[in-house]
Amino acid sequence: MQNRVMGAMIACFGHDVRRINHALKVHAFADLIACREVDDTWTREIVGITALLHDIGIHEAEKKYHSTAGKFQEIEGPPIARKILSDLMVPEKSIDRVCFIIGNHHSYTKIDGIDFQILVEADLLVNSYEDEMKQDVVESVCEKVFRTKTGKSLLRSMYLD
């Protein structure tokens, strides 16, 4: 299923290679963390699908609000993800969970499960590099947001140690 979602994400982003690459990097880190932290295959599948689609509303946010701010991505992403996943005949329970995470993935106080936690950590691992975060910001993020052993280890080895 993740390969089909990946193809749909690439088609949706079109020539926006930067966004495609961001989603693929987040997916890779999310998969790595999930494989080490989660035994449940359904949860790992949710993590992978969500990682691929987490920023899927960014183009619509740019069109409607002239902004890529997280709050606008949270508004615009779920309907697009729901359409993609419905077209791929993903079960409704899975679609609902993916859309909840996408609709809140910049709202860290709403993290309510390991799938959501892993997505946030994977996104921050990529954003730390792409946004050229200063070391003190990365340290703060590590302390305040990261919860998984694998995510913390990756962040420390890549940016702090």
Residue range(s) defining the domain that contains residue 31: 2-160
Exposed e or buried b per residue across 22-59, where buried means at least 16 C-beta atoms within 10 angstroms of its C-beta: bbebbbebbbbbbeebbeeeebbbbbbbbbbbbbbbbb
How much is the pLDDT for 161? 79
86-131 pLDDT, tens digit each: 999 999 999 999 999 999 999 999 999 999 999 999 999 999 999 9
User: 122 near 29, Cβ under 8 Å?
Assistant: yes
User: 33 falls in which pLDDT band (50, 70, 90)?
Assistant: very high
Q: Is the pLDDT of residue 135 over 90?
A: yes
The pLDDT of residue 139: 97
Evaluate whether 154 touches 32 at the Cβ level (below 8 Å): yes
pLDDT tens-digit readout, 54-80: 999 999 999 999 999 999 999 999 999
User: Over the chain, what is the mean pLDDT?
Assistant: 97
Domain of 111: which CATH number? 1.10.3210.10
Residue 153 pLDDT > 90: yes
- DSSP labels for 25-80? HHHHHHHHHHHHH---HHHHHHHHHHHHHTTTTHHHHHHHHS---HHHHHHHHHHH
Helix 70-87 / helix 41-53 crossing angle, nearest 10 deg: 120
Structure confidence at residue 43 (pLDDT): 98
Secondary structure letter of residue 91 according to DSSP: -
Q: Could you give the number of structural domains in the chain?
A: 1
- Is residue 36 over pLDDT 90? yes
- Does position 20 have pLDDT exceeding 90, yes or no? yes
Of 123, 158, 19, 70, which Cα lies nearest the Cα of 115? Answer: 123
